Structure 1
C-alpha cells in the first residue's frame, strides 16, 4: 500500500490524507464530490475538473495546503496575522492604504533594479579588460 501511495502525486496523497481524516470511505468521498471512482489512486495527473469538484464539495479546504502541503488544511484554521485594513476604515482609506503599500513595493523594486544595473555595468567592464 505505501508503495502504491508513493507512485501517485503529492496533491493526490494530500487529498487521500484529507479523506482519511474526515473518517469517510473513498466510495463516500467519490459519491459526495462527483469525482470518478479510482481517480485519486491512478498514477495520472489530477485535472482541473477534479480539483473544481473537490473545492466545490469542501469550500473550506485550503488550496494552498492541497497544492503545497504548507499551512493549515482548512481555511477556517488559518490566522490572518496582518489584515490589510481595519473594519472601521472607509473605502477611500482602504484604497489609499493599498496604494501606499504598492508605492513602497515599487520603490524597493526600483532600488533593486538600480543596484542590478550597476552590477551589470561593473561586470561588463571586467569582461572588457
Structure 2
C-alpha cells in the first residue's frame, strides 16, 4: 500500500469526503488523486497541523499505527510535544526531521527518474541501429 492509499484509508476513518479533506488542508480538490510517490513537505505540514492524531510515520512509510492515540496533549511553545496512546512522544522536531527525510527521498527519486530517462534514450538509440 502506498502513501495515496494510506491517506485514503485515513480519510475514510474521518467519515468525510476527499474533497472535504482537501479543503481542510488548503489544497485543490484533486490533490489526493494526484499523489504519485509521496507527499510534499509543505502538504505534510498542513496535514499534521490539521490532523495531529494521524501518525506521519505510518502515512509516509506504513510503519506503526495509523493513529497516534486518543490522548494527544498539545503543549504551547517552540518545543511542542504530543504524547501518543502508546506513551511515545512525538515532537515538532520529529515531524521536521521526517519532512527533511522526505525531501531527501524526493531528490533521490528525481535523480533515479533522470537516470531512467537517460537509459531509455540509450536503449532507443541502440535499437535504431
TM-score (norm. length: structure 2): 0.50
Instruction: State the structure with more CA Rg.
Output: 1
Give the structure with the higher percent helix: 1
TM-score (norm. length: structure 1): 0.50
Give the structure with the higher percent strand: 2
